[in-house]
Amino acid sequence: MTDGVSGMKRQMDARAALAAALKVRLRSRALDRVTVTELVRDCGLTRQAFYYHFSDVRQLAVWMFETEVARRVRTFAADVGWADGLVQLLLYLRENRESTLGVLDGVGQPGVERFLFGQMRPVTEAVMDQDGGGPSRPQDRNLVVDFYTSAVLAVVLRWVAEGMVDHPYKVVGDLEIMLHGAVRESGRRLDARAAPRGKNRPT
């Protein structure tokens, strides 16, 4: 059992070391110009060790981005309010600007967008839970969550594309203003639509 745990730790250490080396390289060059040879030399690993974990540098970049973002999303979804958590996520993206842009440029926005949608969905669910719990029917609940997740994601991706100039507190503050009450109202209207005939309909 101990050997198995030690082996898993070594694997994670190797991945973390490669990711750290990639971050440094992305400060001065595009993702497609970073080589495996440079990365293994930077962190003292062998090429065999690299290819044990990743098929190429692009796969390493995706793993690095997804692992770090997913960890932060899970943390703030569980431990802090959605707004403070989203601020922390945007701060991470801005503090790691080169890696964020490197992954977007090297992997493509559609793939990153699909990943971020899945990761940010818990944020929208947290908004809905804090704003009254959402619609009664599961299908309506999913509709509201997907709609507002897409809206928040569009704002975040535009912020990234425009250079992450605005401070994350401003970006999230604007989102709070727009979302405040809107999620609850959407749930109310969908519940009213689903109610039997004769019940009050939304005006």
CATH of domain 56-203: 1.10.357.10
Does residue 141 have a pLDDT over 60? yes
103 pLDDT more than 50: yes
Span 1-54 CATH architecture: Orthogonal Bundle (1.10)
pLDDT at 12 over 70: no
Which is more confident, 7 or 85?
85
Domain with CATH 1.10.357.10 in the chain: 56-203
Which of 72-81, 120-129, 146-155 shows the lowest per-residue confidence on average (mean pLDDT)? 72-81
Is the Cβ–Cβ distance between 113 and 157 less than 8 Å? Answer: yes
- Give the per-residue pLDDT at 9: 47
* 106-114 contact pairs (CB < 8 A, 24+): 106/30, 106/31, 106/32, 106/58, 106/61, 107/31, 107/58, 107/61, 107/62, 109/157, 111/62, 112/65, 113/153, 113/157
Q: What is the pLDDT of residues 29-64, one digit of tens each?
A: 888 899 999 999 999 999 999 999 999 998 898 888
Domain with CATH 1.10.10.60 in the chain: 1-54
The pLDDT of residue 200 is 52
